[in-house]
Structure 1
Amino acid sequence: MEPVTIVICNYNYERYLAQAIDSALAQDYPATRVVVVDDGSTDGSRALIEGYGSRISTFFKENGGQVSAYNHAVDIIATNYAILLDSDDILYSSAVSDVMRVFMSGDYAKVQFRLDVIDSAGGQMGVHVPHSEPPPDCGALLKRGWLYPSPPASGNAYRVDALKQIFPVPESGVNRYGADFYAIYGVVLLGAVATIPKSLGGYRVHHTSAPSVSFANAESMVKGSSALGMRWATLQEIARSRLKVDLPVSFHDFSHEKAHFCSRVYHAPLTTRWRWMTRESRSYLHSIIANPFWSLKKKVGTLVLSSMCLLPYSPLSDFAVRYIANPLGRRRAATR
């Protein structure tokens, strides 16, 4: 049986870490190894980790950020396959078994799966991510600049030899965080992606009470969108220098364009909304109309919702923006 490593990178998530470790230890795949890399936590994480004794392998390092933790994690993985689990997320017990069944069926660099969105207490929120499934050959589209639909970090399993060609990643500046970007998009330049169309884990969203356009945990939408451009430039250099692959200067990604859309039209006066849609929305509309991962139905629906921001009634406009930006907004709309 091919062994698999679940690596949990942790920083100050003592309140969730035990759930992540327990979910990794509970895998029904016997050849699962669990490794925890602690990035200099200052809470009670170390004592918690040490309490698991020999059931897990542990590595404690000085704080350097998420990219530093990933660099260390990828370096120490000794198996051919791995899952990099965020310390506030969980895996369901069959995750590794299901992933390995797919890996053994073909030559894949990555196997991805859905994650159910859970709240800070672990309760199901009634939605999952991602909402679209990419084709196996995502690398060809990435070479044209298209970032393919992927779950967050915890919803991806990798062939380790592919990860080791992408990492280590430079750790300074914007690259303290966003390590999963390089894993998710880098490895598809080295092989095909397979998608398991069911949820095999939980993605924890910490702020779910008030209606908002923000969904991701780590960064605000605008800050994260700005950092994405710099990470793309870093990936370009890695691809060029290590893989001899030339990526385009610019990239296309609906999530990236959506952040700009939300920042300009959410809670904005009618004149501002009209100005943005008529003068500044070209890239946003292109990311919808030319999107190679979306069905015609999804494109039309998103265009119709986007056009609602031109309506004079601002509460309806803001509702449409939230619906587009935040999957939790769709759940709330469906339960009304």
Structure 2
Amino acid sequence: MNLPTVSVVICNYNYAQFLVECIESVLNQSYAAHQVIVIDDGSTDNSIEIAESFGEQIILVKKKNGGQISGYNEGFSLCTADAIIFLDADDALEPNALIWVAERFTPDVVKVQYKLKVVDQDSNPTGSVLPSSLDSGNLKNELLLKGKLYKSPPGSGNAYRVATLKKLFPLPSDSHDLHGADYFCIYGISLLGEVASISEPLFRYRVHAPAEAARNALSFGNALKSADPITRANKRWQRLKSWVADWSEQQYLIPGQFIDFTQQKVFYAAAILKADRFIERIDIFAEQFDWLMLAINSRDDFNVLKKIAALVWVISLPFCTKSLRIYLSKKMCNP
């Protein structure tokens, strides 16, 4: 059987300290990458020097800083393989990742996704493997009829069929949001074919804090750096709607609001933890309750007990002491 070729595009901005590990993880694959393309997005550290040390083993592109979306667009324009992985420079592939991915690209599959191992900034495993479950199959109606973001890993955990991805590129840029390239690829491509999932963790996802510090902070990976993540998430959803309408010529209509408990629980916890006054926490609870209930009910991977536990967490969080709020939020949200 002829396996599809796979190119890997490494998007880097000031990740010199992780770049060697990332590039070597691709070069040392049991199934060789067709291309290893490194897009440096205007780094000001010694990333260029490190990348150049790999010589002709990689294709190095040096560009002005323009954000993740511009990096994806540049890397995709150079891809000549059958499939492509966009690998963040602070992540790394497991040694057999590409062979696992290549073997899962059957004719109907347009995206292969796989789980991740969480590591700290020193590459030490935290013991977490995420997501707990992944969706697969024809997921188009989940997005179009329910506004539901199917269960997917972040950017480095996805491989795309290049011929299908050509229908989506170049990705839409926005001066107010230069990132979220993986968001558009992940959910846009699900409208064009089937998604296959691999339960094995095939890449290492880095959380940018030592293990001890990570345990004492509320975060989900490296997301939610914005001061107002709910507003940013809703704006990105509206951009997704507009973008899909443009390239699909109004063939697809997406609901006005998205549903994703993975994101919404972190939005909720972050807002509650920032609110010192009880009345402020009650207001947050009232504003987000209906949204959170929709999200919990949409999780078909949750049994009744898990849904009840999530509901109890939502209701009880505003009433807890500060130390208990922090503890419960970390238990629910941290990877």
Aligned with 2:177: secondary structure? helix
Q: For residues 68-111 of structure 1, give each alpha carbon's deviation from its aligned partner in whole angstroms, at most 9, with x where no partner exists.
A: 1111111221111011100000000100101111114x521111
For 2:66, give the aligned amino acid: G
Which position in structure 2 is the counterpart of 1:334?
Answer: none
For 1:257, give the aligned amino acid: Q
Relative distance call for 1:275 and 1:224 in structure 2 (3 A) is closer
State yes or no: 1:308 paired with 2:316: yes
Which position in structure 2 is the counterpart of 1:326?
Answer: 334
Give yes or no for contact 1:153–1:180 (8 Å, CA) kept in 2: yes
RMSD value, Cα: 2.0
For 2:269, give the aligned amino acid: C
Relative distance call for 1:271 and 1:175 in structure 2 (3 A) is closer
Which position in structure 1 is the counterpart of 2:269?
Answer: 262
TM-score (norm 1): 0.90
Which position in structure 2 is the counterpart of 1:288?
Answer: 296
Which position in structure 1 is the counterpart of 2:45?
Answer: 43
TM-score (norm 2): 0.90
Partners of 1:316 and 1:270 in 2: how far apart? 14
Counterpart of 1:217 (choices 209, 216, 222) is 222
Partners of 1:12 and 1:283 in 2: how far apart? 37
**Pairing of 1:173-192 with structure 2 (within 5 A):** 173-192=175-194
Partners of 2:205 and 2:304 in 1: how far apart? 28
Aligned with 2:255: secondary structure? coil
For 1:253, give the aligned amino acid: D
Relative distance call for 1:230 and 1:280 in structure 2 (3 A) is closer
Relative distance call for 1:34 and 1:248 in structure 2 (3 A) is same
What's the CA shift for 1:280?
Answer: 4.1
Give yes or no for contact 1:134–1:293 (8 Å, CA) kept in 2: no
Partners of 2:292 and 2:230 in 1: how far apart? 13
Q: For residues 39-90 of structure 1, give each alpha carbon's deviation from its aligned partner in whole angstroms, at most 9, with x where no partner exists.
A: 1212111111111111111222221111111111112211110111000000
Which position in structure 1 is the counterpart of 2:58?
Answer: 56
What's the CA shift for 1:169?
Answer: 2.0
- Which has the larger displacement, 280-289 or 190-199? 280-289
Counterpart of 1:22 (choices 24, 34, 37) is 24
For 1:255, give the aligned amino acid: T
For 1:23, give the aligned amino acid: S
For 2:192, give the aligned amino acid: L
Which position in structure 2 is the counterpart of 1:165?
Answer: 167
Partners of 2:264 and 2:333 in 1: how far apart? 10
Which position in structure 1 is the counterpart of 2:82?
Answer: 80
**Pairing of 1:272-283 with structure 2 (within 5 A):** 272-278=280-286, 280-283=288-291
Partners of 1:166 and 1:251 in 2: how far apart? 20
State yes or no: 1:249 paired with 2:264: no
Give yes or no for contact 1:270–1:314 (8 Å, CA) kept in 2: no
Q: How many residues align?
A: 326
- Which has the larger displacement, 277-286 or 238-247? 277-286
What's the CA shift for 1:249?
Answer: 2.1
Give yes or no for contact 1:17–1:88 (8 Å, CA) kept in 2: yes
What's the CA shift for 1:14?
Answer: 0.8
Q: For residues 150-171 of structure 1, give each alpha carbon's deviation from its aligned partner in whole angstroms, at most 9, with x where no partner exists.
A: 1111111111122222221232
Relative distance call for 1:77 and 1:128 in structure 2 (3 A) is same
Relative distance call for 1:314 and 1:42 in structure 2 (3 A) is closer
For 1:302, give the aligned amino acid: A
Partners of 1:326 and 1:180 in 2: how far apart? 21
State yes or no: 1:235 paired with 2:240: yes
State yes or no: 1:89 paired with 2:91: yes
Partners of 2:14 and 2:264 in 1: how far apart? 31
Q: For residues 136-159 of structure 1, give each alpha carbon's deviation from its aligned partner in whole angstroms, at most 9, with x where no partner exists.
A: 222210112101121111111111
Q: For residues 205-242 of structure 1, give each alpha carbon's deviation from its aligned partner in whole angstroms, at most 9, with x where no partner exists.
A: 00250522222325426534322222222221221121
Give yes or no for contact 1:110–1:193 (8 Å, CA) kept in 2: yes
What's the CA shift for 1:279?
Answer: 5.5
Relative distance call for 1:218 and 1:283 in structure 2 (3 A) is closer
Partners of 1:166 and 1:312 in 2: how far apart? 46
Aligned with 1:48: secondary structure? helix
Partners of 2:153 and 2:92 in 1: how far apart? 13
Give yes or no for contact 2:148–2:258 (8 Å, CA) kept in 1: yes
Uncovered stretches (5+) of structure 1, i.e. residues with no partner: 328-336
- Which has the larger displacement, 188-197 or 296-305? 296-305
